Structure 1
Amino acid sequence: MISILIPYRNRDPERIKILFRSLEGQTHKNFKVYFIDYGSSKINSEIVKELCLDYSFVHYQYHYTRHQPWNKSRTLNSVIRYLDTEYCFVADVDIIFHPEFLEIANNLTKTGQTTYFQVGYLSSSESRKVKAFSEYSDYRSSTNEATGLSLFPVAQLKDLNGFDEFYHFWGGEDTDMHIRLKNAGNEVEYYDEKLLLLHQWHKSFQKLENNESIADLQLSGILPLNHQHLKNAISNKATKVNISGWGEIMGREDFQLLENSEVSMEITNEKRQVEDVLYGMLPVKNEGIIKISFKPDLFENSKKYKVKRMLGKKVPEYYTLREVKDMILLHLISFYRNVPYTIKVDNGRDIEVAIKFS
Structure 2
Amino acid sequence: MITIVLTNRNRSLSLITNCFASLRRQNNQNFKCTVVDYGSNPQNQKLLQSEINKHVNFELILCSTQKQLWCKSRAINLALKQCDTTHFFAGDIDMIYHPHFIEELHILKDKHKVVYFQVGFLSENESNTDKDFEDYQIAFPSNEEATGMTLYKTEILKSINGYDEFYHGWGAEDTDVHVRLKNANVEVAYFDRDILMLHQWHPKVYRGKDSLEPFHFKLESINHKYLEFTRQTKKVVANTNFEWGHYSASDYSVLEAPQQEFLVTNELADVKGFIHSVLLDHADQVISVKIREHSEYNSLKQTAKKLLNKKAKEFLSLEEVNDLLLETIIADKRNAAYSYRYSVQKNEIALVIKL
**TM surpasses 0.5:** yes
Asked whether 1:88 is paired with 2:82, we answer no
| Distance of aligned partners of 1:322 and 1:27 in 2 relative to their CA distance in 1, 3 Å threshold | same
Q: What CA deviation, in whole Å up to 9, does each residue of 1:49-84 have, x standing for no partner? A: 111112222111101222211111111111111211
Q: Which amino acid aligns with 2:179?
A: I
Q: Which amino acid aligns with 2:11?
A: R
Structure 1 stretch displaced more, 330-339 or 347-356:
347-356
| Distance of aligned partners of 1:144 and 1:278 in 2 relative to their CA distance in 1, 3 Å threshold | same
CA drift of 1:341 comes to 2.6
Q: How does 1:1-358 map to 2 (within 5 A)?
A: 1-204=1-204, 208=206, 215-243=212-240, 244-251=242-249, 253-262=250-259, 264-300=261-297, 305-306=299-300, 309=303, 316-349=313-346, 350-357=348-355
Looking at structure 1, the residues matched to 192 and 138 of structure 2 have their Cα atoms a distance apart, in angstroms, of 18
Looking at structure 2, the residues matched to 250 and 9 of structure 1 have their Cα atoms a distance apart, in angstroms, of 18
Q: Which amino acid aligns with 1:226?
A: N
Q: Which amino acid aligns with 1:158?
A: K
Q: Which amino acid aligns with 1:159?
A: S
Looking at structure 2, the residues matched to 212 and 106 of structure 1 have their Cα atoms a distance apart, in angstroms, of 47
CA drift of 1:218 comes to 1.8
CA drift of 1:233 comes to 1.1
Number of positions where the alignment pairs a residue of Structure 1 with one of Structure 2: 350
CA drift of 1:164 comes to 0.6
Looking at structure 2, the residues matched to 91 and 61 of structure 1 have their Cα atoms a distance apart, in angstroms, of 15
Q: Which runs of 5+ in 1 are unaligned?
A: none
SS at match of 2:109: helix
CA drift of 1:270 comes to 2.5
Report if aligned partners of 2:112, 2:189 keep a CA contact under 8 Å in 1.
no
CA drift of 1:44 comes to 1.2
Structure 1 stretch displaced more, 271-280 or 116-125:
271-280
Q: Which has the higher helix share?
A: 1
Q: Which amino acid aligns with 1:220?
A: F
Output the aligned Cα RMSD: 2.1
Report if aligned partners of 1:212, 1:218 keep a CA contact under 8 Å in 2.
no
Structure 1 stretch displaced more, 320-329 or 146-155:
320-329
Q: What CA deviation, in whole Å up to 9, does each residue of 1:241-291 have, x standing for no partner? A: 11231100132x211212222551111222321122124443332342222
CA drift of 1:162 comes to 0.6
TM-score by length of 1: 0.91
Looking at structure 2, the residues matched to 164 and 173 of structure 1 have their Cα atoms a distance apart, in angstroms, of 7
Report if aligned partners of 2:268, 2:314 keep a CA contact under 8 Å in 1.
yes
Structure 1 stretch displaced more, 342-351 or 86-95:
342-351
TM-score by length of 2: 0.92
Looking at structure 2, the residues matched to 115 and 159 of structure 1 have their Cα atoms a distance apart, in angstroms, of 17
Q: Which runs of 5+ in 2 are unaligned?
A: none
Report if aligned partners of 1:67, 1:342 keep a CA contact under 8 Å in 2.
yes
Q: Which amino acid aligns with 1:245?
A: E
